Amino acid sequence: MSIRRCLCLAMCIATCVALSGCFLFPNRPPSAAFVARYGVTPEDPMVVDLDASVSTDPDGDSITRFMWAFSDDLALVQPVDFSAVREVPVLRVRCPNEGAYTITLVVHDARGLGSTPVTQTIIVPAPLP
């Protein structure tokens, strides 16, 4: 086989791998994770930031979508919208009362693969008098 044919074949294989992913290294799902930060606004101690920037992807793909699920009594504060699907990792919510709230997160990577849902119960403390 000539060098020219070998180079052409190598370029075709590289193009196919770049466009469709390599069968030797398939896309692996990202891993969802988040932390709750309490007391983020001094004027309202019931506001909590849910930060999913700690989510990771084993292939190094960026996390492009954050899908949050929580009970109806939590109110979205920022970004203001009616959907809990975000393209940014931090969601600000307001809890109506102190107590336990169950939150679930699924993240998607740049190639569209979703994580296994991760669920945490956050405990919102009573406001200080």
- Domain boundaries along the sequence of the chain: 27-124
Q: Which residue has the tokens 């849902």?
A: 117
Which pLDDT tens digit goes with each residue over 79-125?
545 456 777 899 899 888 889 999 899 999 999 999 999 999 999 88
Higher pLDDT, 39 or 54: 54
Percent of the chain with pLDDT over 70: 72
Pairwise CA distance, residues 117 & 42, whole Å: 32
**pTM, whole model, 2 decimals?**
0.74
Hey, what CATH topology would domain 27-124 get?
Immunoglobulin-like (2.60.40)
Contact predicate 113/30, CB 8 Å: yes
